[in-house]
């Protein structure tokens, strides 16, 4: 009942104001959720990192690294801050976030609004020595003359402060950014990012993930897989928001420009995930994102080839108790299916999802 009242109050506000209030509540330490009991069967080790459970908070919520530890207390096994760019930028003009309530979805065209490297780095420096897996999602400024260099700067700045880094070239809200997924541009970017990591002291070198769009063709996915492998990138996050609009129930806001996230993205992003698993083989870390709002959808991502999963939009509609509930229900599913480790479920429906259209 309390969750329902909280949602009604937040949904009476515009989405960005509601988001700001939720960040403020977490920053103040208000009891807005409850973590699930630790379960060793949910531990996943990939890219040299031991995740206490496979559920993470996706980038976009805590853009400026204000509340990563509070997110962990909600039940997430890990949290990804950002997207953060070298210099602060305001992003696109409002209104720029739209709820599609009939679809449990959101369209956003924020445009990497954030406070810049310095502000996020100061907050992450302040938590050094604390436990918990925190990642930094790095991006490029809209007006940058050398976007690949912006990612190099992100690697240098945040590697000593986080557990891993995500190179985000898949947002549809920065003009031209997605063109960096084309093979030649991607090869140059990943080579430069890899060189920047290698130049760091060994103790500061971190796993690097690449976040891709769900709107890529099969040929594009093949190119991404080839370049990720060639440049020894540690994993791929599948996927960012989509520019597709098929099958939406909502009439209001459905045609707004921006990236669509939430429940309608589940099937498309899961099919892309499975195809990517087929391309990269069993060893590379894959993170499934898009439409995760329950233990069932989270575990289906794993069955389709994901090692880890992330959510964001699902929590907008279900509230801050969602991550704890998902993790608890994951444990119950393992009980019911008599499975000793969540990793045993990976790829069990790979063939099914890889055969779905993208």
Residue pair 262/313 in contact by the 8 Å Cβ criterion: yes
CB atoms under 10 Å from CB of 306, counted, come to 30
The residue behind tokens 């480790």 is 341
How far is 147 from 179, CA to CA, in rounded Å?
A: 11
CA-nearest of 137, 116, 73, 85 to 321 is 73
Q: Which residues pair with 286 in a beta bridge?
A: 236
CA-nearest of 342, 314, 300 to 53 is 342
Six-digit token pair at 173? 């809200």
Six-digit token pair at 95? 């209104």
CB burial of residue 39 (10 Å; 0-12, 13-18, 19+): middle
Supply the Cα-derived Rg of the chain in whole angstroms: 19
Q: Please identify which of the residues 104, 171, 239, 269 carries the catalytic annotation.
A: 171
Active site residue 163: no
Q: Calculate helix-pair angle for 218-230, 266-280, nearest 10 degrees.
A: 50
β-pairing, 44-46 vs 78-84, is unpaired
Residue pair 78/163 in contact by the 8 Å Cβ criterion: yes
CA-nearest of 281, 297, 282 to 330 is 297
Q: Where are the beta strands (DSSP E) in the chain?
A: 44-46, 49-51, 55-57, 78-84, 97-100, 105-108, 133-138, 164-168, 208-212, 235-238, 259-262, 285-289, 308-311
CA atoms within a 13 Å half-sphere pointing along the CA-CB vector of 209: 31
CA-nearest of 312, 311, 308, 314 to 273 is 308
> Which residues are identified as catalytic?
171
């Amino acid at each position: 009942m309390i969750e329902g009242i909280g949602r009604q109050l937040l949904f009476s506000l515009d989405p960005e104001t509601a988001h700001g209030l939720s960040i403020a509540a977490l920053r103040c330490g208000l009891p807005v959720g409850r973590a699930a009991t630790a379960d060793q069967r949910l531990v996943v080790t990939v890219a040299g990192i031991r995740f206490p459970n496979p559920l993470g908070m996706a980038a976009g919520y805590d853009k400026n690294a204000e509340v990563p530890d509070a997110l962990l207390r909600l039940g997430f096994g890990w949290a990804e801050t950002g997207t953060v760019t070298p210099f602060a930028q305001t992003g696109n003009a409002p209104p720029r976030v739209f709820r599609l309530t009939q679809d449990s979805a959101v369209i956003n065209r924020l445009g990497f609004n954030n406070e810049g490297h310095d502000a996020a780095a100061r907050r992450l420096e302040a938590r050094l020595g604390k436990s918990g897996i925190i990642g930094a999602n790095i991006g490029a400024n809209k007006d940058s003359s050398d976007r690949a260099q912006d990612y190099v700067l992100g690697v240098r700045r945040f590697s000593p402060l986080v557990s891993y880094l995500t190179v985000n070239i898949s947002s549809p809200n920065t003009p031209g950014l997605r063109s960096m997924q084309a093979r030649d541009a991607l090869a140059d970017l990943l080579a430069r990012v890899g060189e920047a990591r290698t130049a760091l002291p060994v103790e500061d070198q971190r796993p690097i993930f690449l976040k891709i769009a769900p709107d890529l063709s099969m040929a594009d996915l093949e190119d991404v897989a080839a370049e990720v492998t060639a440049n020894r990138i540690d994993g791929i996050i599948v996927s960012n928001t989509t520019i597709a609009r098929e099958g939406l129930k909502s009439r209001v806001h459905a045609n707004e420009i921006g990236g669509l996230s939430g429940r309608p993205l589940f099937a498309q992003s899961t099919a892309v995930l499975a195809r990517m698993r087929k391309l990269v083989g069993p060893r590379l870390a894959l993170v499934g994102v898009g439409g995760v709002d329950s233990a069932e959808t989270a575990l289906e991502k794993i069955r389709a080839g994901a090692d880890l999963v992330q959510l964001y939009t699902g929590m907008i509609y279900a509230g801050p108790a969602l991550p704890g509930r998902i993790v608890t229900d994951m444990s119950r599913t393992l009980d019911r299916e008599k499975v000793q480790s969540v990793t045993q479920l990976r790829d069990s429906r790979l063939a099914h999802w890889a055969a779905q259209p993208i």
